[in-house]
Structure formats: structure tokens, C-alpha cells
């Protein structure tokens, strides 16, 4: 299968070839012709499947008829609106639009919270056809009358499942109420949960469904392994495994922000360059940490589920679940960070007795048992009694950074401290 048969125009085919893509990914193969035909699409595709190009390329082709060189902002209304849950994903999708659209004379920009509004306002005032946005900031800009959505022809909800997890449903409803009723809708989600199906019924119009991986399945290329270990020996086991196998470029997940910071500090003191990335960090700090991780200066990036959402790190060899997530679906999201674009990856889970239920939940979702192995020198002490885990709803520090759906104080000023954080 090549890109030539999908119906994309010659310049986009050239761009794709220049990017080094020799054949479309499964989601691209299925979604591109549907989007070009103007259909509504509901696609189940995880990060790393090439989903961004799957919607961006055909959108560029559909909108190119509107390209013009007028200096009047009125001639450049927002025609495609791409909603994303997080700042990181917003930046990445914007980059993708610029990359894939480099030969198409349409204007694009990105708006997200946690950054000064003025540059975003300036960009919008000049007129742009393709807008990538997080919901909260977009509504703020609409409220200030700088973003007008009355001429949107194509709406994309990217990582829609995560938007629901983060409490964005009311924002999404407010935004869709501002759009013309007649429009094309594309929704991408890692999984088709019942909530996603419900949302799709309210937004999509008789959609074609694209499902590239079996429901809730993890990518087969990923080798999964569980290490049973005592709760207070996890740090030592992680450092031991990193040294023993000379692991580099590890993305390590904790359930809480505080846990991420503690672990990163501990690993760093052991001489294993580690940094925590979470939503209390400023955007420039997060961007810098990500860059250093990508170029190998940082060996271990410790993240919460929310902070990791949308990080585009290609061919990541190792993902570590230092703590299993509350929500089994987050396990699928986490390990989807490895084994991208055909690369093989490894997902290691360090599981203590307190997490037995969480592990069962993951295995139930995957419909299979994950193989396990006991590391020499780290044999679990059978006399240790399980302790109840402090859940995301139990208040205090244990809640911070958890990724269970939290009840968001809707439309309050931007604030990052509550549970899942607001983009």
C-alpha cells in the first residue's frame, strides 16, 4: 500500500515522501479517503499510530480551495478547528499542521492555556484558517471576541477520551454550540468507551468508524513484564534494572505529582539523570525537559498520566509503571508510548502487594495475564501485609496528579492545581 492511492494531491504526496513516510499507517489508509470525501469519522487510534497525519493531510486538501493572499483577516476565517486536551499535544499538532502543510498556503496557529494571551490574540486577529486549541483557552478567546467560530467547516476532537477524563465535556458542548450546524466532524480516541460513544452521538453525524487496533488491545510489539516487589524497594529495583541492563530513555509513570518529584530526585541523586515532568511545571520547563530527554541528556523522565498525555516521543524503548494507574485504561495509554510506528518496546511494571487489585484490573481489560519475573535480590517478603492505597479521591497529597476523572470547577479562571489539571 502506498500513499498514492488515497486521493491526496501531488504536493502533499511529495511532502509525505520528504518526511520519509513510505507507506500509510493503517489509520491513515482508512481515514484519509473518508475525510477527503467529507464524511464524519469516529476513529479508534492511539498516540503513535500516525493519527495526526490521518486528519491533517486530508483537511489541508479539503481547505486549500480557500487559500488566498488577501491582507483582510475577514478573508481568513477559522475553517478547521482541532480541539486537543493538553498543551503538549496542542504544540505537537500545530507542528504537524505546519510540517504537512508547508506547501499549502493556509494559515494556522495554536492557542492553549498557561501562556500569555497577547501573542495568541494577535495571531487570531490576523486571520487564520486552521486553529489548534485546548478548550478552556479557546472559550476565553471567544469570550474576548477574538476567536470567531461561525465559519468552521471541519471540527476535530483529538484524544477525545482524554478530554472527557479531564472534565472538558461542558467546554466541548459550549464550543460545538458556537459552530455552524452543517460541518464535518472527526473524532479520535484511544478507545471507544461508552462515554465516547455517547459523545460521538451528540457530535458526529452518521460517522464511518475506523478501528485500527482491536478494542482496548495493547500493541503486540510491546513486551510487557511485571516485577513483583516490596513497596519500599521499588526505587532500588528500578535503579538496579536501569544499571543492570544499561537502560536509556525511560519514561517512568507514577500516580501522583508528588511521587513523580520524589522519585526523580531520588534517581538523580543516584547519578541516573532524571527529571519529573508534571502539570505544576511551567510550560517552558516542561518543553526544556522534553527536549533534553529526546536528545539523551536526561535518562529518566518521570511523569504522571496527565503530564505525559500528548508527549510525542518516537521509538521510546522503555516505559516503566513505577506505580500502576488507578484507571486500567491509563495502562494502555502509558505503554502505547513504546512500540510506536513498528518499533519494539518494553513495558515494565513494578507491582507491590498493595496494587494487586490494580493489576487484576489491567489484566481484565487486556483479557490476558502479563508475564512476571522476580528479580534476584528483590524477592518480595511474604510477611508484608497489603495496605489500602490512598485513592485519588481520598484528599491530601495522594490525590494530586491522579488521572481518574475529577470534577472540574467549570469555567473558573485557568488553574492547574486540581486533580487532572486544566489545559
Identity of the residue, 87 or 340, whose beta carbon is nearer to ligand AMP in the bound complex? 340
Identity of the residue, 123 or 343, whose beta carbon is nearer to ligand AMP in the bound complex? 343
Supply the minimum distance, in Å, between the C-beta of residue 24 and ligand AMP: 5
Identity of the residue, 297 or 314, whose beta carbon is nearer to ligand AMP in the bound complex? 314
Identity of the residue, 57 or 348, whose beta carbon is nearer to ligand AMP in the bound complex? 57
Contact 136, 171 (CB under 8 A): yes
Query: Residue 341 gets which letter from DSSP?
Result: G
Whole-angstrom distance, CA of residue 181 vs CA of residue 164:
22
Contact 42, 207 (CB under 8 A): yes
What is the CA 422 to chain-centroid distance, rounded? 14
Supply the minimum distance, in Å, between the C-beta of residue 197 and ligand AMP: 22
Supply the minimum distance, in Å, between the C-beta of residue 334 and ligand AMP: 15
User: Coil, strand, or helix at residue 319?
Assistant: strand
What is the CA 260 to chain-centroid distance, rounded? 18
The residue within the footprint of ligand AMP, chosen from 297, 314, 357, 393 (CB under 6 A), is 314
Our finding on whether 259 is near ligand AMP (CB under 6 A) is no
Our finding on whether 312 is near ligand AMP (CB under 6 A) is yes
Identity of the residue, 340 or 400, whose beta carbon is nearer to ligand AMP in the bound complex? 340
Identity of the residue, 25 or 218, whose beta carbon is nearer to ligand AMP in the bound complex? 25
Q: Which residues contact 238 (CB under 8 A, 6 or more apart)?
A: 252, 263, 267, 320, 322, 350
Cα radius of gyration (the chain): 22
Supply the minimum distance, in Å, between the C-beta of residue 71 and ligand AMP: 33
How many alpha carbons fall within 13 Å on the CB side of residue 106?
Answer: 27
Query: Residue 370 gets which letter from DSSP?
Result: P
Supply the minimum distance, in Å, between the C-beta of residue 313 and ligand AMP: 9
Identity of the residue, 229 or 332, whose beta carbon is nearer to ligand AMP in the bound complex? 332
Our finding on whether 310 is near ligand AMP (CB under 6 A) is no
The residue within the footprint of ligand AMP, chosen from 225, 341, 356, 414 (CB under 6 A), is 341
Number of residues counted as binding ligand AMP (CB under 6 A)? 15
Nearest Cα neighbor of 42 from 196, 170, 195, 218 is 196
Supply the minimum distance, in Å, between the C-beta of residue 23 and ligand AMP: 6
Supply the minimum distance, in Å, between the C-beta of residue 190 and ligand AMP: 10
Nearest Cα neighbor of 136 from 352, 409, 419 is 409
Binding residues for ligand AMP restricted to 14-73, rule: CB under 6 A: 21, 24-25, 28, 47-53
Supply the minimum distance, in Å, between the C-beta of residue 253 and ligand AMP: 18
Question: Helix, strand, coil % (nearest 5) of the chain?
Answer: 40, 15, 45
**Terminal Cα-to-Cα distance of the chain (whole angstroms):** 38
Supply the minimum distance, in Å, between the C-beta of residue 299 and ligand AMP: 21
DSSP string over 185-229: EEEEESS--HHHHHHHHHH-SSPEEEE-S-TTPPPTTEEEEEEE-
Identity of the residue, 25 or 327, whose beta carbon is nearer to ligand AMP in the bound complex? 25
Supply the minimum distance, in Å, between the C-beta of residue 50 and ligand AMP: 3
The b-or-e profile of 333-362 (16+ CB within 10 A means b, else e) is: bbbbbbbbeeeebbbbbbbbbbbeebbebb
Identity of the residue, 219 or 264, whose beta carbon is nearer to ligand AMP in the bound complex? 219
Identity of the residue, 55 or 326, whose beta carbon is nearer to ligand AMP in the bound complex? 55
Supply the minimum distance, in Å, between the C-beta of residue 246 and ligand AMP: 26
CA distances from 403 to 149, 277, 279, 308, 375 (A): 31, 15, 12, 11, 29
Identity of the residue, 50 or 361, whose beta carbon is nearer to ligand AMP in the bound complex? 50
Whole-angstrom distance, CA of residue 268 vs CA of residue 257:
16
Residues engaged in binding ligand AMP (CB under 6 A): 21, 24-25, 28, 47-53, 312, 314, 340-341
Amino acid at each position: 500500500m502506498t500513499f498514492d492511492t488515497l486521493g491526496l494531491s501531488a504536493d502533499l504526496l511529495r511532502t509525505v515522501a520528504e518526511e520519509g513516510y513510505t507507506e500509510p499507517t493503517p489509520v491513515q489508509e482508512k481515514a484519509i479517503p473518508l475525510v477527503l470525501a467529507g464524511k464524519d469519522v469516529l476513529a479508534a487510534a492511539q498516540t503513535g499510530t500516525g493519527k495526526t497525519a490521518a486528519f491533517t493531510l486530508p483537511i489541508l486538501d479539503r481547505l486549500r480551495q480557500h487559500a488566498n493572499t488577501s491582507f483582510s483577516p475577514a478573508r481568513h476565517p477559522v475553517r478547521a478547528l482541532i480541539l486537543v486536551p493538553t498543551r503538549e499535544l496542542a504544540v505537537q499538532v500545530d507542528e504537524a499542521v505546519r510540517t504537512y502543510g508547508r506547501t499549502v498556503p493556509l494559515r494556522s496557529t495554536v492557542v492553549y492555556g498557561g501562556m500569555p494571551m497577547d501573542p495568541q490574540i494577535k495571531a487570531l486577529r490576523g486571520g487564520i484558517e486552521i486553529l489548534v486549541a485546548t478548550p478552556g483557552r479557546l472559550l476565553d478567546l471567544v469570550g474576548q471576541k477574538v476567536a470567531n467560530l461561525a465559519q468552521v467547516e471541519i471540527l476535530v476532537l483529538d484524544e477525545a477520551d482524554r478530554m472527557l477524563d479531564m472534565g472538558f465535556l461542558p467546554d466541548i458542548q459550549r464550543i460545538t454550540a458556537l459552530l455552524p450546524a452543517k460541518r464535518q466532524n472527526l473524532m479520535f480516541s484511544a478507545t471507544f468507551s461508552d462515554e465516547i460513544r455517547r459523545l460521538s452521538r451528540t457530535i458526529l453525524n452518521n460517522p464511518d468508524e475506523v478501528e485500527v487496533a482491536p478494542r482496548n488491545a495493547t500493541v503486540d510489539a510491546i513486551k510487557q513484564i511485571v516485577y513483583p516487589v516490596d513497596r519500599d524497594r521499588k526505587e532500588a529495583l528500578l535503579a538496579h534494572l536501569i544499571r543492570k541492563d544499561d537502560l536509556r530513555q525511560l519514561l517512568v509513570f507514577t500516580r501522583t505529582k508528588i511521587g513523580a518529584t520524589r522519585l526523580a530526585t531520588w534517581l538523580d541523586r543516584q547519578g541516573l539523570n532524571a527529571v519529573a515532568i508534571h502539570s505544576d511545571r511551567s510550560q517552558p520547563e516542561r518543553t526544556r525537559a522534553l527536549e533534553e530527554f529526546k536528545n539523551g541528556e536526561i535518562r529518566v523522565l518521570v511523569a504522571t498520566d496527565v503530564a505525559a498525555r500528548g508527549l510525542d516521543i518516537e521509538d521510546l524503548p522503555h516505559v516503566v509503571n513505577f506505580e500502576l494507574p488507578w484507571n486500567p485504561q491509563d495502562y494502555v495509554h502509558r505503554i502505547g508510548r513504546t512500540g510506536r510506528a513498528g518499533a519494539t518496546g518494553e513495558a515494565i511494571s513494578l507491582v507491590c502487594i498493595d496494587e494487586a487489585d490494580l493489576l487484576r484490573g489491567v489484566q481484565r481489560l487486556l483479557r490476558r495475564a502479563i508475564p512476571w519475573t522476580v528479580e534476584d535480590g528483590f524477592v518480595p517478603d511474604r510477611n508484608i501485609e497489603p495496605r489500602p492505597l490512598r485513592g485519588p479521591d481520598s484528599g491530601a497529597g495522594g490525590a494530586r496528579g491522579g488521572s481518574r476523572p475529577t470534577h472540574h470547577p467549570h469555567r473558573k479562571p485557568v488553574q492547574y492545581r486540581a486533580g487532572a489539571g486544566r489545559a
